Amino acid sequence: MEIRLDGQVALVTGGSRGIGKAIARTLAEAGAQVMITSRKAEACEAAAREIGPNAHFEAGHIGRDEDAERVIEATLDRLGRIDVLVNNAATNPWAGPTIEVDRARWDKTFATNLTAPLFWTQRIWRRWMKENGGSVINIASVGGFATSPILGVYDITKAAMIHMTKQLAAELGPKVRVNALAPGLVKTDFARTLWEDGKGEQVAKAYPLERLGEVEDVAGAALFLAAETGRWITGQTWVLDGGGLCAYRSTA
């Protein structure tokens, strides 16, 4: 089955690398015009050039209101519509027990991972999707379903994003669908410290599918949800983790 997005416009935050760039590429290859945004203009331009003529860019900081307004207006001015929003940009400035986090890094993690996706969605809903419909895809994490000795703060924001996805789906239907993807460990630069130096192989051994995720695994799911194939799906979080959540756990 070929899934197409011809005539559609998608905006992907954090779209210059990793999962975001893979999603942007996949949506563009399916026929969508894709606006890539992230903090660094050079990285956005390089990603758009690599993806091809269906990719465009407007740099901006995910957490700055004025940048959000500018990126959204540039998308509407240049491409005419916004049918798909992918809230992918995220940060993780703290690694360690949640009880030890300082206020500045707690606030930064929530501002980027939760507050920004909400208000980007709000702006695009008001400017386009309220009248014309659309699909919002939030990139959460399998960590939102579990605990972690070092990623607790990050995972708390992703657990909140999973609930926010359900809340917004309830509020924005029937014209707008809101779903989330919750990847397990994917081989990206963002997650490099978790999989480099052989650590990834140890994690993969515990997965029923015995491998880590690739960015294309997430991108394919995003395409399905963005297109007509996902037309009766909203408020859901799809776990993409090679079976990690259902793997056997030691009781020793």
Question: Which of the residues are catalytic?
Answer: 154
The full 3-state SS of the chain, as one line of letters, equals CCCCCCCCEEEEECCCCHHHHHHHHHHHHCCCEEEEECCCHHHHHHHHHHHCCCEEECCCCCCCHHHHHHHHHHHHHHHCCCCEEEECCCCCCCCCCHHHCCHHHHHHHHHHHHHHHHHHHHHHHHHHHHHHCEEEEEECCHHHHCCCCCCHHHHHHHHHHHHHHHHHHHHHCCCEEEEEEEECCECCCCCHHHHCCCHHHHHHHCCCCCCCECHHHHHHHHHHHHCHHHCCCCCCEEEECCCHHHCCCCCC
Which residues are bridge partners to 82 per DSSP? none
Angle at 88 between CA 224 and CA 84, to 5 degrees: 45
